Structure 1
Amino acid sequence: MNAGQMNAGQVNAGQANAHPMSAGQIAARLTAEQADRLRSHALWRECHPVTWPETLLDPGCTAAVWPLMAEEAALALELIAAAFGTSPFTEEQLLQAARPGIAGAALRLGLHRLGEAGIVFTVRRGWGEKLFVLPLDSLLPWHEAIRTARRGSDRRQQGLPPVEIDPRGIDAVEGDGYAPPFSLQLLHAMAHMADAGLKLTAKRVLTKKTIARGAGQLFVEDAALSALIQSPDASAGPNGMADAVYPPALLFVLETAFASGWLREANGSLVRDDAAWQGWLHASPAEREASLLRQVLAAACARHAAAAAGAAALCSLAPGVWYRAAEVEAAAAACRRLLAKPRPSMIDDWCRLFIQMGWLERGVDGTGSTVIRWLIEPAPFRRQAESPAGGDSGRFARSGVQLTPDGDLYVDEHCAYAVRWQLETAAERRRTDITTVYRIRPDSCKRAARAGHTRESLTAFLEELTQERLPDTVRAMIVLGMEGRSGENGGTRRDETSEAAAVPTCANTLFAQAEDGLYELIQERTTPRQLFAGIDDVPSMWLKQFRAYHLSTRRELMEQALRWRTAVKLNCAGAVTHFIPERIIDEDGGWAVSGYSRLRYDDDRHRFREEQLTQVKLYPAMWDEMMLLLPMPFGG
């Protein structure tokens, strides 16, 4: 929906594309008894003192419990992450997503175990069918846990992790110019929109002038953002027209502002909450970029499982280290190994977007291969203690600003954001680069006056910034621009936090934020035995004894295996194999069964490694002993 607009009708219109829920939102819907049961689940004991649901968001916890999961739970979770991400899915969709050779019974039991541990949840939308969903903010930590475990397993099977590159042999890519960090692009857009005016039109959208001013400050191309974050169709609801008005990149900025509490609607305008905005300006650089990266990832991963896999591969890299893009892609391909229809990882799309956001750099090594490296910490779920301490310091800390007699201000990349924000209202930005150039002119001084500055306050600000007395030429420009605006006669800065009748709002077109009431959370207590209909009527020897049967009984066992979607253990000419039946074929008065063999578990519990998978057609006379293989022991 568009910035500054939200009502009950819009919530209903969006139900077809409802957003996934975060772990916190799910936990809030549970009873105390239900939450306690999940917190006390044996899987989370290794995470003490972190407790559920925080365990789902902590990459240390997900990595610790991954090797402890039952094989079928790990198999189901890896498939869910690759095939659906955080999109809701049915049990049948999960089974269909798996590549040949994976028994549906193992996936069904794995899904049950994931629900028992509070990793996957059961929901229903309205009167629709039962769905399963992975909490939105748990997806990347699970991807990281899976990738970490895979690096410790058979590298010949799983692919090597990306290899570090010698930075001395890297050349820049022609056409990749400087792009400021997205946080700085956002700051510039907020400043220009505020200067152009935040009044809403009769259609409750910003004016064309304000939209153009804001969009003009962004280095992010609309196509790069839309490739990963697709907003709903313009005709899908009452907000379609307004969504079409805002370019995707600017819409993302506006929704960031609403989601962060910097903007809200009041009395026909968008109003800035200065307290919230100043809090962000004074945050540490790591906090600012990490929060924006989380929002970008959440918006994309909520609708794109393939995008989530690519993002996970990129976010697993170390900052400041060069990697070959092809090797990152190869590592990401391992995430798709369980899929029946693997999809592209979208790593190229992510790289293009992150480069335009000033977060990633691209180059060419001595062999002509494309290489990439992060300019920021790419793991937004990393604990804050691992980020640099303090406020606006480090890469963007306040540092020297030089002022020339003709009014040019040279500001390097380490300038604090609170200072940059004041410069946006007090001077005219002429160049945005590693060193940004502002210019003091009479017209810029008039704009500063509208923002609340007087001659005295503007002079004091610039002298404090440069740590020297202003040149006479600059003083003259301030006097000319501020004529009649000194002392108590100067402009008054509006207290934008005290607007009456302010209505909090949030723009939810791109951001994956769940709306209460779209999903009913279902807490069912079932047993694994209930997953296999008719198990009490099946002869126990079918499940317990590896033995020979009459030809007609062999067909009965195969039919039962198909109903349960489970494997069958066969002795074919002295070779024991696990067979996954797909269908029974009647032919010429006899019958045959087609299927696959086989997928087995790794001995070192680093999860699943494929043996040779062969599609075969078997006739009942081709095997002797047989038995049904359920993923856990059963029997009458």
Structure 2
Amino acid sequence: MHTSELAARAESQAAQIVDIAKAGTTGQSDTLHGGFAPYINWQKFSAAPELVLQTIQQLPPSLQQLYVHLLKHAGPLPFHEEMIESWQHADAAAAEIMAALPIWYEAGLLAVFRKAWGERLYVVPVDVYVKVLQYVLDSAATESAEELHIDFFADSEPGLGVINDLFRLLVFTANEGLPVTAKGTLHKRTVQRLESQLQMTNESLGVCRISYAFAEAVSPKLAISIDLAMRLGLIRKDTQSFSIQRDELYAWLQQPIQKWNEAVWLLVGQHYTVANAETKHLFYALRAAGRQGQWVRSESVVQQLQESGWLDEEQSQLETMKAWLHALHSFGWCELRTASDSSIWYKWLISSEDDVDEQTEDGRGFFVQPDFEIIAPPDCPLFIRWQLEQIAEHTSSSGMHMYRLTKDSFQAAIDAGRTRKQQQDFLEQYALAGIPENIIDAWERWNEQYGRAWFSEVVLLRCEDEAAALLIQQECEQGRLKGKVSKIGSTAFVVDRAQVEQIRAVMEQIGLPLLKNWRNDDDVECGSADSNGADDESLETGATASDRSAKNFQNISTMNGIVYSPSSLQYYEMDMAYRRDESWLSSYIGLPLMWTKEVRTYHASTMKEIVETAIQLKLALQIKENGKLLRVVPIRLYGQVDMDYALEAHINEDSRLVRKSLMPSQWEGVRLLVPEWL
């Protein structure tokens, strides 16, 4: 999870705790703004990513090394305490990592969740992880295509990618609806029409290894588009259809494309990558090593990860990275080229956040041609393109986004409630070179032919007698019903449906309360005001929830989609009360001081007891052998006699981390290495 998501979830969960406390239960609240260090640091990291490395560098060197060791094994995946023992080596005893967890948590370098039965899950925020990975790759030597004079012979330009496919899905859903069958899948004809508009390729998405219901009917590229729309809160599925969530959609449409790419990139990393650390390293390293506008050799990225100990030296790692490059190319995030030596080079295309405002300003508009074509540049903001979709026909999106103004599109816009003036005002606002006169003339002709008369849905307000009608008439002329009610007969009035509840309240105030139930001309009940009021209340509640969601883009990881996600963190609550476990420390407090103070010799039985204690408490040992001080992390003892047993241990031998059998009987001294930060 991203630090912004963690901060948002912590704030939401704390608010719930406060509500419980106010209700008089025994809930205890942490005051986030009053000193909850992880929350404060997550907010800082989200606003200023450069603070991540500063925070890590402020830790003692030993804790910095341990943290990198943790990242190599866990990546941004959740882990539990039992997994830590399997990550031990000579420079990292499990007890040292366990003792460091609360320190990293307080610093905002770790988040803690709790399962229903109390087991804790730990996770490194993804942006913190990426920042460290980027530092590792930046510090390694890089290869420049320009310096090496590489002769590229195969060039693969990126498509419009995932954001364009997502946009086309939303337009289709808004304009035509997205109904589902009784089984819950999409209609075959709808699938065919939708997939013809999507530009991602199913072959390139194979590395995602996604699973979802009705996979035989829906292709991976369509499944991913629908899943992303759901996880971003843009569409929702019910028993009959997928429907647009307009408040969230309009809020997202105001965001620059860079924000969309950032959100989708996080979702791809969380939900479409295999849940193992090696795959995560490969996926995130492509962006961490990528430099906008520069070509990077993919083989060198894998080599750097292997040399720095983040990956094993396996040929399959390179094949996986190449597969992900083709997927990211399909997403529209990089260009690919193959050199004459068959090496794969890529150029990262997603701009940094510093470039967002400049890029958005440059693309705020389009060009209207005299032949009724509209040309929108690739970086045209989505909220402008969305409005273009309402008044013009989309013809293509190959590089430029092409639209055409037609009589049919004009009439469709009129039917949707956009007047000729509104359409013209919109084009005048965003047409970078103005609107040709022949188009304005065509609009005038089309307007004369269509849209000058229409049906309007209203409600009929009837009175039992003329005295009641007179009361309403007086209120229409000089009171609170002025302009809201129109008389069409001696005892009948026309009311805008949207004004019904407001008028009902006024009628109460003037002493003429309306019947609770609605009636038709045959005095048959056709519906109750209660049910309509419930609908209004439901819509109002939904709009309020949508407003909250639209203002809080950080909550995307808690949304569910149609793709089965390998991530389960959205189902668990954060452990807001996590602190260092004092009961866990009691075992260390009782250790004899001489065992931890200095390296010294002991009787064979005591020596064995010290080794067994180190194994039990997962501590490292410092031993003296052949006059040299060595650090070892014991694994197990074998052999029964006190003077004739061996120890299997992790040891750093000639800068290589190895497992080796040692003979304690040959040691000249030993001591327990208790972490200094305990």
- Using the size of structure 1 for normalisation, the TM-score is 0.74
C-alpha distance in structure 2 between counterparts of 1:417 and 1:291, whole Å: 15
Aligned pair partner of 2:6 in 22, 28, 36: 22
Q: Which amino acid aligns with 1:180?
A: L
Mapping of residues 225-624 of structure 1, within 5 Å: 225=205, 227-228=207-208, 230-231=210-211, 240=213, 246-264=218-236, 268-274=240-246, 276-300=248-272, 303-316=275-288, 317-333=290-306, 336-337=309-310, 344=317, 346-365=320-339, 368-377=342-351, 386-389=354-357, 392-394=360-362, 396-404=363-371, 409-439=374-404, 447-448=412-413, 451-452=416-417, 465=431, 467-469=434-436, 475=442, 485-489=450-454, 501-502=538-539, 506-510=559-563, 518-519=572-573, 521=575, 523-526=577-580, 530-531=584-585, 533=587, 535-536=589-590, 538-586=591-639, 590-598=644-652, 611-624=655-668
How far is the alpha carbon of 1:560 from its aligned partner? 1.5
Q: Which amino acid aligns with 1:131?
A: R
Cα deviations across residues 388-415 of structure 1 (Å, max 9, x unaligned)? 3268433x432434343xx555544354
Structure 1 match to 2:195? 215
- Compare 213-222 and 356-365 and name the one that shifted more: 213-222
How far is the alpha carbon of 1:69 from its aligned partner? 1.9
Cα deviations across residues 490-519 of structure 1 (Å, max 9, x unaligned)? 999xx9xx9954557954445799788744
C-alpha distance in structure 2 between counterparts of 1:167 and 1:428, whole Å: 47
C-alpha distance in structure 1 between counterparts of 2:51 and 2:647, whole Å: 44
C-alpha distance in structure 2 between counterparts of 1:70 and 1:143, whole Å: 21
Q: Helix, strand or coil for the counterpart of 1:548?
A: coil
Q: How many matched pairs?
A: 564
Q: Helix, strand or coil for the counterpart of 2:337?
A: strand
How far is the alpha carbon of 1:324 from its aligned partner? 1.2
How far is the alpha carbon of 1:98 from its aligned partner? 4.1
The answer to whether the 8 A contact 2:72-2:277 is kept is yes
How far is the alpha carbon of 1:556 from its aligned partner? 1.8
Q: Is residue 140 of structure 1 aligned with residue 127 of structure 2? A: yes
Cα deviations across residues 514-552 of structure 1 (Å, max 9, x unaligned)? 78874462625446783462651x432111131122222
C-alpha distance in structure 2 between counterparts of 1:101 and 1:630, whole Å: 13
Seen in structure 2, the aligned counterparts of structure 1 residues 216 and 36 have a Cα distance that, compared at 3 Å, is same
Aligned pair partner of 1:103 in 93, 117, 134: 93
Q: Helix, strand or coil for the counterpart of 1:227?
A: helix
Aligned pair partner of 1:55 in 28, 34, 44: 44
The answer to whether the 8 A contact 2:152-2:340 is kept is no
How far is the alpha carbon of 1:93 from its aligned partner? 0.7
Q: Helix, strand or coil for the counterpart of 1:102?
A: coil
Q: Helix, strand or coil for the counterpart of 1:372?
A: strand
Seen in structure 2, the aligned counterparts of structure 1 residues 551 and 353 have a Cα distance that, compared at 3 Å, is same
Please report the RMSD computed on the Cα atoms of aligned residues, expressed in angstroms. 4.5
C-alpha distance in structure 2 between counterparts of 1:61 and 1:92, whole Å: 31
C-alpha distance in structure 1 between counterparts of 2:151 and 2:386, whole Å: 34
How far is the alpha carbon of 1:586 from its aligned partner? 0.8
Q: Which amino acid aligns with 1:576?
A: L
C-alpha distance in structure 2 between counterparts of 1:34 and 1:72, whole Å: 32
Q: Which amino acid aligns with 2:40?
A: T
How far is the alpha carbon of 1:566 from its aligned partner? 1.9
Q: Which amino acid aligns with 1:389?
A: D
Q: Which amino acid aligns with 2:327?
A: L
Seen in structure 2, the aligned counterparts of structure 1 residues 342 and 199 have a Cα distance that, compared at 3 Å, is same
Cα deviations across residues 251-276 of structure 1 (Å, max 9, x unaligned)? 43334434444434689554435554
Seen in structure 2, the aligned counterparts of structure 1 residues 131 and 75 have a Cα distance that, compared at 3 Å, is farther
Unaligned ranges ≥5, structure 1: 1-19, 42-49, 153-159, 235-239, 600-609
C-alpha distance in structure 2 between counterparts of 1:290 and 1:250, whole Å: 20
- Using the size of structure 2 for normalisation, the TM-score is 0.70
Fraction of identical pairs, as percent: 19
C-alpha distance in structure 2 between counterparts of 1:629 and 1:343, whole Å: 38
Q: Indicate the structure with greater helix content.
A: 2
Q: Which amino acid aligns with 1:630?
A: V
Structure 2 match to 1:125? 115
Cα deviations across residues 83-113 of structure 1 (Å, max 9, x unaligned)? 3344432212122134566322222222243
Q: Which amino acid aligns with 1:397?
A: R
C-alpha distance in structure 2 between counterparts of 1:103 and 1:247, whole Å: 47
C-alpha distance in structure 2 between counterparts of 1:22 and 1:276, whole Å: 20
* Higher RCO structure, 1 or 2 (CA under 8 Å, sep 6+): 1
C-alpha distance in structure 2 between counterparts of 1:541 and 1:214, whole Å: 74
Seen in structure 2, the aligned counterparts of structure 1 residues 244 and 479 have a Cα distance that, compared at 3 Å, is farther
How far is the alpha carbon of 1:455 from its aligned partner? 6.9
How far is the alpha carbon of 1:488 from its aligned partner? 4.2
The answer to whether the 8 A contact 2:55-2:107 is kept is no
Q: Helix, strand or coil for the counterpart of 1:123?
A: strand
Structure 2 match to 1:64? 54
Q: Helix, strand or coil for the counterpart of 2:596?
A: helix
How far is the alpha carbon of 1:434 from its aligned partner? 1.6
Q: Which amino acid aligns with 1:67?
A: Q
Q: Helix, strand or coil for the counterpart of 2:200?
A: coil
Unaligned ranges ≥5, structure 2: 15-27, 458-496, 498-531, 547-558
Q: Which amino acid aligns with 1:421?
A: W
Q: Helix, strand or coil for the counterpart of 1:113?
A: helix
C-alpha distance in structure 2 between counterparts of 1:122 and 1:37, whole Å: 19
Seen in structure 2, the aligned counterparts of structure 1 residues 582 and 295 have a Cα distance that, compared at 3 Å, is closer
- Compare 366-375 and 354-363 and name the one that shifted more: 366-375
C-alpha distance in structure 1 between counterparts of 2:439 and 2:55, whole Å: 67
